[in-house]
Chains A and B, each alone.
Chain A
């Protein structure tokens, strides 16, 4: 079976969305019309952007790790541990001022980096199977965070603390929102006043894209995954580059997890699959769909979070009595469909393999 190209799939999706919009505009009383009405509210875009944050950041981290040759399937665990630790630290400081929250945020990122560091040592130094070690990272976090939460808070869910307040772009926001021009008002509402985590996400996407595309370090990362021998011959330590790749995945996933808890929700939920709820695994699917490109990955993450925000909207604004669990399955089913359509992505040649420096082979 010949695989459709990613661009073909993306175009088909866009065409489908356009068709729904046209239908909806032409027939405002139809289901498509209601969908368009819901989807066009600024609040939907705001929700989609916020939901995209943990997925995008974890995915960017996954790109750095996998491009350098270490498949990090433990992103879910990194999100869990940083989300919990950030709340714990912010709560210990009082949890109500923005300083408490930002310090908590940093502690959360640090926890994620430590766990990623452990994963890196296990994979690079002790040559563990990366998939198994990644599963271990996930399961350790899935056990540890609810355990620690129960120790401190007496329940798998933490106490509620404050959360980041929105940032407003000075002058421009007022100018846009009061402009009287609908598209500008929309942009003003969605992009010029937003949760800081949204701006953090944009910055991370741009920075990752720049680093991977235009810097020497980006080329080393690429070489460590594609042709470690060449990198070694050029005098750059493959191990060091891989450590860097995995640690960066820890930083980025840590920002994602802490963004979700102290940035957006204001607590940590540790029941069942925790509040992370598979976002780390969805992140892996998004960077595969985005073909390891930060921009494409961001687009894929927006696709998932857009669907997710739409399902929230459908539940809130329509009279249809669709069971929420059914609609909540949409993002997971989408991941499966995307993997089926995209199929095997061309993973870096040496991803998943250990690299020994010359002397013993």
Chain B
């Protein structure tokens, strides 16, 4: 029963050949089809959940769906209208510009999700399940906040200060996240500790650790929340004068940086020796080891890179959005898992998936304003998307029964 696993090396069996050629010929197209289908299906199931929730909830006035009175408390059509069009500021309602503040929220979420999505993707490509991006992000954010706050006193102000502080913050985030990511990598490489469990446990440890550090030493005396002081103004990722306002907490330069990282990681994976080793370790560990790739070093290196990307995400969160480290950072690390899996762990795909999830995250806020439905609906969709992406066979069977996708299952 080993003959259809990617680790099998015997090429003589026709079934294995078939699987291989199927993966090579159809993988990109098929992945995209599966991702879109998974998303559509998740949205459909989400629709049913909203209807059921609308039956279960109690309310004074029942919803009218498309002009028809219903026994529901929530209007599922309105929910999805808000989720997708509200997320970008209702472009069809007139008076809309691409610089609408909802667009800023969408792009802000997308930017942040690129970092955590890339972080997850790099580890998955290397055959490591890094579920710890959340913790790596939390520590990256903390390092960036502390570094820029402490350097702010001596750094020059204005543009010159920004030129110093922003790279320092990003670097601090990368180092902190990278070290925290290297830890489970090393534990896996040298002590065989299952990285799925250790990374999840280290999420809890990172959150608790950062909380204690900040509450013990870095919370301003007049603050009732556990948070650091504000970072210096010069440490904010600068906004471009002609696009969006500073109050929108979004910078096109931040987005450009994210896009540059997407291209950089794609290049790294596709064209460099390190990228080849990393992919080889993920796809064919035995062959990679035989070919002289050090399995242990690759494990540690890929987890370090993954953690560093997560840490950079935390740094950008601090320097573009929050302006300080706050307890209970948003769960971007877990969303990064969805983004990466939806993208088939492909860096370029991560860009698109992050944009899509940016819309969903922004739309969840729009749902909160525009409807009575709990915004955590988007968290349900996140889980459903992964569930459906996990079952490609399901879509193949549906495709086969509909008589489409014959080339896929040939």
Whether the pair B394, A126 counts as a contact (CB closer than 8 A) is yes
Once bound together, how far apart are the Cα atoms of A151 and B15, in whole Å? 49
CB–CB B337/A152 < 8 A: no
Contact with A along B367-385 (1 / 0, CB 8 A): 0000001101111111110
A residues less than 8 Å from B196 (CB atoms): 73, 131
A350 near B1: Cβ-Cβ < 8 Å: yes
**A1, CB-defined interface residue at 8 Å:** yes
Question: Is A361 in contact with B1, judged by CB distance below 8 angstroms?
Answer: yes
| B390 pairs with A336, CB closer than 8 A | no
B376 CB to nearest chain A CB (Å): 5
In the complex, B175 has a CB within 8 A of chain A? no
Could you tell me if B1 and A228 are in contact, using CB atoms closer than 8 angstroms? Answer: yes
A288 to B56 CA separation, bound complex (whole angstroms):
41
What residues of B have a CB within 8 angstroms of the CB of A354 in the complex? 1, 4
Quick check: B387 and A340 within 8 Å, CB to CB? no
Q: Is B233 an interface residue when CB atoms closer than 8 A count as contact?
A: no
For chain B residues 334-387, which have a beta carbon within 8 Å of chain A? 334, 337-338, 341, 373-374, 376-384, 386-387
A8-60: which residues lie under 8 A (CB-CB) from chain B? none
List the one stretch of B61-69, B199-207, B241-249 in contact with chain A.
Answer: B199-207
Do residues A151 and B56 form an inter-chain contact, with CB atoms below 8 A? yes
Question: Nearest B residue to A121 by beta-carbon distance?
Answer: B391
Structural contact, B381 and A143, CB atoms closer than 8 A: yes
Q: Is B284 in the interface zone, CB < 8 Å from A? A: no
B374 close to A329 (CB less than 8 A): no
Chain B contacts for A150, CB-based, 8 A? 374, 376
Q: Give bound CA distance, A138 to B200, whole Å.
A: 12
Q: Determine if B383 and A122 form an interchain contact, defined as CB atoms under 8 angstroms apart.
A: no
Question: What residues on B are CB-neighbors of A133 within 8 Å?
Answer: 387, 390-391
Q: Which of A139, A147, A325, A355 contacts B208 (CB 8 A)?
A: A325
CB of A337 to closest CB in B, whole Å: 9
B380 near A144 with CB under 8 A, answer yes
Given contacts A143-B376, A147-B374, A343-B193, contact A278 B204 (CB under 8 A): yes
The docked-state distance in angstroms from the alpha carbon of A238 to that of B204 is 37
Is the beta-carbon distance between A353 and B5 smaller than 8 angstroms? yes
Q: Is B25 located at the chain interface by the 8 A CB criterion?
A: no
Q: Is the CB–CB distance between A278 and B191 below 8 Å?
A: no
| Chain B residues with CB below 8 A from A319, complex form | none
B:205-258 near A, CB below 8 Å: 205, 208-209, 211-212, 215-216
Residues on the A chain within 8 Å of B194, using CB: 288, 339, 344
Asked if A272 CB lies within 8 Å of chain B CBs, one says yes
Complex Cα distance, B126 from A167, in Å, reads 52
Q: How far is the CA of A342 from the CA of B376 in the complex (A)?
A: 38
B377 contacts which chain A residues (CB < 8 A)?
143, 147
Contact assessment for A1 and B191 in the assembled complex, using a CB-CB cutoff below 8 Å: yes
Q: Write the nearest CB–CB distance from A209 to chain B, whole angstroms.
A: 24
Which residues of A, 68-102, contact B by the 8 Å Cβ criterion?
A: 73
Chain A residue contacts of B201, Cβ below 8 A: 278, 281-282, 285, 332-333, 335-336
What separation, in Å, do the CA atoms of A236 and B379 have in the docked complex? 40
In the complex, which of the residues B1, B216, B373 contacts A323, with contact meaning CB atoms closer than 8 Å? B216
Say how far A142's CB is from chain B's closest CB, in angstroms: 7
Rounded to whole angstroms, the CA-CA distance of A237 and B257 in the bound complex is 54
What are the interface flags for A173-206 relative to B under an 8 Å C-beta threshold, 1 for contact and 0 otherwise?
0000000000000000000000000000000000
Is B389 located at the chain interface by the 8 A CB criterion? yes
Distance in angstroms from A74 CB to nearest chain B CB is: 10
**For the complex, is B157 an interface residue (Cβ under 8 Å from A)?**
no
* Nearest-CB residue, chain B, relative to A355: B1
How many residues of chain A have a CB within 8 Å of chain B?
A: 62
Q: In whole angstroms, how far apart are the Cα atoms of A51 and B141 in the complex?
A: 33
Which of chain B's residues has its CB closest to A152's CB?
A: B56
CB distance from A180 to the nearest CB of B (A): 44
Chain A residues in 8 Å Cβ range of B56: 148, 151-152
Contact assessment for A143 and B193 in the assembled complex, using a CB-CB cutoff below 8 Å = no
The answer to whether A143 touches B212, judged by C-beta atoms less than 8 angstroms apart, is no
Chain A residues whose CB sits within 8 angstroms of the CB of B328 once the complex forms: 272
Q: Which residue of B lies closest to A347 (CB)?
A: B194
* Cβ–Cβ contact A336 & B1, under 8 A: no
**Across the interface, do B208 and A122 meet the contact criterion of CB distance under 8 Å?**
no
**B401: Cβ under 8 A from any A Cβ:** no
Q: Is B267 an interface residue (CB 8 A)?
A: no
Asked whether any CB of chain B lies closer than 8 Å to the CB of A326, the reply is yes
| CA of A303 to CA of B202, assembled, Å | 19
CB distance from B110 to the nearest CB of A (A): 20
A143 touches B204 (CB 8 A): no
Interface positions, chain A 240-270, Cβ under 8 Å from B, are none
Bound-state Cα–Cα, A344 to B188, Å: 9
Taking CB atoms, residues of chain A closer than 8 Å to B190 are: 1
Is B187 on the interface with A (CB-CB < 8 A)?
yes
Query: Which residues of chain B from 32 to 75 have a CB within 8 Å of any chain A CB?
Result: 49, 53, 56-57
Take A136-B386, A288-B194, A339-B194 as given contacts and tell me if A128 and B381 are in contact as well, using a CB distance cutoff of 8 Å.
no
Q: Is B197 an interface residue (CB 8 A)?
A: yes
- CA A281 to CA B387, docked complex, whole Å: 19
Give Cα distance in the complex from A102 to B332, angstroms. 38
Q: Are A229 and B208 in contact (CB under 8 A)?
A: no
Select from chain A the residue with minimum beta-carbon distance to B395.
A126
Q: Which residues of B contact A137 (CB under 8 A)?
A: 383, 387
A282 to B196, CA, bound (A): 11
Partner of B204, one of A118, A127, A156, A329: A329
Given contacts A141-B383, A332-B205, contact A132 B216 (CB under 8 A): no
Do B192 and A343 touch (CB < 8 A)?
Answer: yes
- Rounded to whole Å, the gap between the CB of A333 and the closest CB of chain B is 6
Q: A333 touching B383 by the CB < 8 A rule? A: no
A326 to B381, CA, bound (A): 33
* Chain A residues positioned under 8 Å from B392 (CB to CB): 126, 128
A193 CB to closest chain B CB (Å) equals: 33
Cβ of B200: which chain A residues have Cβ within 8 Å of it?
A: 278, 281
B226 to A, closest residue via Cβ: A325
Chain A CB count within 10 A is highest, among B200, B216, B337, B341, for B200
Give the complex CA separation of A321 and B125 in angstroms: 45
Q: Hey, which chain A residues are within 8 Å of B393, CB to CB? A: 125-128
Contact B193 A340 (CB under 8 A): yes
Q: Quick one: given A136-B386, A339-B187, are A329 and B53 in contact (CB under 8 Å)?
A: no
A136 near B191 with CB under 8 A, answer no
A-B residue pairs, 8 tightest by C-beta: A143-B379, A140-B383, A139-B383, A150-B374, A136-B387, A344-B192, A343-B192, A143-B380
Q: Can you give 28 contacting A-B residue pairs, CB < 8 Å? A: A122-B387, A126-B391, A126-B393, A131-B129, A133-B390, A135-B386, A136-B383, A139-B334, A139-B337, A140-B387, A142-B383, A143-B376, A143-B381, A144-B49, A144-B380, A147-B377, A151-B57, A277-B204, A281-B201, A285-B197, A288-B194, A325-B215, A336-B198, A336-B202, A339-B191, A339-B194, A353-B1, A355-B1
